[in-house]
Structure 1
Amino acid sequence: MGYKNGRDFLPASLLKQLQDYIQGEIIYIPKKEQTRAGWGENNGTRQTIQRRNFEIYRLYENGSTVPELIQTYHLSEDSIRKIIVKTRSVAAGQH
């Protein structure tokens, strides 16, 4: 964010109006509202983790134990169990 002199880019009428409210001070003008991408949506991380979580759930449903999944994916027991519970509810919603 850089400092810009209003005289250099604002129309004279707008500059005069702004001077009625504030003179000689620095003012921040925020960007227009924009929809921000969610975490991991632009670089594919979100999809990678979702695929991993479905794989963990699939392996668990096919007989892999939690300790085996911990060893394979290097995640804590709590993380593995949360993934299984959350993915189970997502999978149940797809049927």
Structure 2
Amino acid sequence: MTKYVNANKVLPEALVQEIQKYVQGQHLYIPRSDRKAWGSSTGIREDLQERNAEIVRMYKSGVNMIKLTELFYLSVERIEAIIYDDLSK
């Protein structure tokens, strides 16, 4: 669980007052500046790119969308989005 820090203890008063113009009494998350891109730690981004490339390759070789949904356990809408995204490049 993330530990919460009181903004008054770590930020200058002027900055706290500026933030309060936008957020009053709510929790505010400030991400790390060195945050890694989604999927870069696990490799899932590359896995999905490879999967999507395989879907497009199979579609272009004549496999219909219904068959692709069965092979990849995805909805027709998701298969369409993957294919149309590739075709629009």
TM-score by length of 1: 0.60
Work out the number of aligned pairs and report it.
Answer: 67
Is residue 2:53 matched to residue 1:71?
no
45-54 vs 35-44, which moves further:
35-44
Structure 2 residues without counterparts, runs of 5 or longer: 12-29
* Alignment of 1:27 onto 2:13: no
4+ aligned runs moved over 6 Å, structure 1: none
Q: Secondary structure at the match of 1:27?
A: helix
**Identity over aligned pairs, percent:** 30
- In the alignment, the residues of structure 2 paired with residue 76 and residue 68 of structure 1 have an alpha-carbon distance, to the nearest angstrom, of 11
Matches within 5 A, 1:1-95: 1=3, 27-28=9-10, 34-90=33-89
- Judged with a 3 Å threshold, the aligned counterparts in structure 2 of structure 1 residues 27 and 57 are, in CA distance, closer, same or farther, namely same
